A and B are shown apart, each in its own frame.
Chain A
Amino acid sequence: MKRFVVVGTACLLALGLMSARATSQARGGSGAASAKTNRPAPRLANGRPSMAGVWDNTRRADVTDPAIPGFVKELPFTAWGKSKWEGYDSFMQTNGDYVGNCLPFGMSRSLYGPHPVQIIQDNDHLVMLFEQNSMFHIVPTDGRPFTKDLPPSWFGESVGGWDGDTLVVETVNLNGYTRVDTIGHPMSARARITQTFRRVDFATIEHTFTLTDPKTYTSPWTVKDTWALDPGTKLLEYACMENNRALFEGRIKPFVPPDDVD
């Protein structure tokens, strides 16, 4: 496998695509998506752009990592958010790690993790299939509102709508147990996630992830990604618990949810 080496001062778009290509090749994918960029975005039956495909979702273990285009320069922590950020290690020691317990990674860590993502879409739904833990997330795009009195959950509840050819997905009703990224930036149950998906051509999606979480951050912040289509990668089963020796043998504690995230 050839490792990608970035040289020079390429523009952010090019950097994003290059990163995605490298990830594709690391996954054993074709890495040949750019050959199709001249083709227009495919359309749904209703004429809207389709986001369907397997995508080289950007690996982003730290949303503030300046080596990855689209990063956040500085996270505007509240006092509560700062305490959660600085106390993550000790929290995991006392309460266990939800990821180590094979619990759901939530939206951002599933999108920015090392495993591929597939999108399936029709007129009324966008479905995200995450290889990480074999999870799925359904986003109705038929204009329905959020469900009243739905108990909060790891991925929350999403609804989608169109702003021209850009799909806007709003997610609320999160349980507040997940972290933003691998490194452990916090979020609370008051968080609202706004994502935009714009398929600029057949093989490229421009994606944004905005977190509005007044308990944790004093202002919203946004991560910007460019994903390349990766038709050579097929999602595989990921049964997280089957060989989770660290949990079975007691080296990771059973997860105890935090009680102060509401």
Chain B
Amino acid sequence: MRIAAFLFSSTMLLSVAAWAADPAPGADVFAKPSSLPFQYPAFDRIHNEDFAAEFDRNSPVTLTGSVTRVDWGNPHIWVFMDVKDDAGTVSNWGVEGGAPNALFRNGWRKDSLKVGDTVTVEGFKAKDGSLRANANRVALPDGRRVFAGSSSGDR
């Protein structure tokens, strides 16, 4: 598989805008309920604690792979997945998601994503170059979004 870091193009903007118009529960989704619908609510935040410490908004990444573990816990869930690169090498990535209570209130459950499920994650890579990302969106092959929502706001 592909680890496709992609340009922050108009396509990405439209994709993000579509998500923002129907937001799932990442903490910062609550940030500005009266803001304009085409503004992705996390982008205007600085000082976002562990997001700012760990992840780089200028390094978007798309990952597709098989779920190996889901850690459903506070302050944020983590999803681990095996991702194959273009050379066929498989690496295990850790993807940080939203807060469990917020996810629960929006209909997601601890077992909504199962080991072996194939998912596509759109998010931002870790600053230190390790195999970690912060997820904006997590989608199943049929397009259903699971665990959408970032931890990039308050915890």
Q: Which residues on A are within 8 Å of B, measured CB to CB?
A: 1, 3-6, 15, 18-19, 22-23, 26-29, 59, 61, 65, 67-69, 88-89, 92-93, 97, 99-100, 102, 109, 113-115, 131-132, 182-184, 233, 236, 238-246, 251-252
| Contact, CB under 8 Å: A59 / B32 | yes
| Contact, CB under 8 Å: B34 / A26 | no
Chain B residue with the shortest CB-CB distance to A28: B105
**Per a CB cutoff under 8 Å, which of A67, A113, A183, A246 touches B32?**
A67
| Contact, CB under 8 Å: A243 / B47 | no
CB contact list, B43-88 vs A, under 8 A: 45-50, 52-54, 71-78
> How close is B69's CB to chain A, nearest CB, in angstroms?
12
| Contact, CB under 8 Å: B32 / A65 | yes
| Contact, CB under 8 Å: A99 / B49 | yes
Q: A192–B134 Cα gap in the complex (Å)?
A: 37
**Per a CB cutoff under 8 Å, which of B20, B37, B45, B77 touches A243?**
B77
Chain B CB within 10 A, most for which of A65, A241, A251? A251
Q: Give me 24 A-to-B residue pairs in the complex whose CB atoms sit less than 8 angstroms apart, sorted by A's number.
A: A1-B23, A1-B24, A3-B22, A4-B33, A6-B34, A22-B34, A61-B32, A92-B49, A97-B50, A113-B154, A114-B102, A182-B47, A182-B49, A183-B45, A183-B47, A238-B75, A238-B101, A241-B74, A242-B73, A243-B74, A245-B94, A246-B54, A251-B53, A252-B54
| 5 A-B pairs with least C-beta separation | A243-B73, A28-B105, A22-B33, A184-B47, A114-B30
Q: A182–B23 Cα gap in the complex (Å)?
A: 20
Q: A27–B105 Cα gap in the complex (Å)?
A: 5
Q: A249–B154 Cα gap in the complex (Å)?
A: 20
| Contact, CB under 8 Å: B45 / A3 | no
Chain B interface category by residue count:
35 or more
Q: A260–B145 Cα gap in the complex (Å)?
A: 47
Chain B residue with the shortest CB-CB distance to A29: B105
| Contact, CB under 8 Å: B47 / A88 | yes
Q: A5–B101 Cα gap in the complex (Å)?
A: 24
Query: What DSSP secondary structure best describes chain A's contact surface?
Result: loop
| Contact, CB under 8 Å: B154 / A236 | no
User: Which residues from A are CB-within-8-Å of B77?
Assistant: 243
| Contact, CB under 8 Å: A182 / B34 | no
User: Which residues from B are CB-within-8-Å of A251?
Assistant: 50, 53-54, 128
Q: A262–B46 Cα gap in the complex (Å)?
A: 26
User: Which residues from B are CB-within-8-Å of A5?
Assistant: 37
**Per a CB cutoff under 8 Å, which of A59, A89, A99 touches B30?**
A59
Q: A97–B51 Cα gap in the complex (Å)?
A: 11
**Per a CB cutoff under 8 Å, which of A93, A182, A236, A242 touches B101?**
A236
**Per a CB cutoff under 8 Å, which of A3, A61, A93 touches B154?**
A61
| Contact, CB under 8 Å: A26 / B33 | yes
Q: A5–B71 Cα gap in the complex (Å)?
A: 34
| Contact, CB under 8 Å: A242 / B25 | no
| Contact, CB under 8 Å: B75 / A240 | yes
| Contact, CB under 8 Å: A61 / B153 | yes
CB contact list, B9-49 vs A, under 8 A: 20-25, 27-35, 37, 45-49
13 more contacts with CB within 8 A, not counting A1-B106, A18-B33, A243-B77, are A3-B21, A3-B33, A23-B30, A26-B30, A27-B30, A29-B105, A109-B154, A182-B47, A240-B74, A243-B75, A251-B128, A252-B49, A252-B54
User: Which residues from A are CB-within-8-Å of B133?
Assistant: none
Q: A93–B53 Cα gap in the complex (Å)?
A: 8
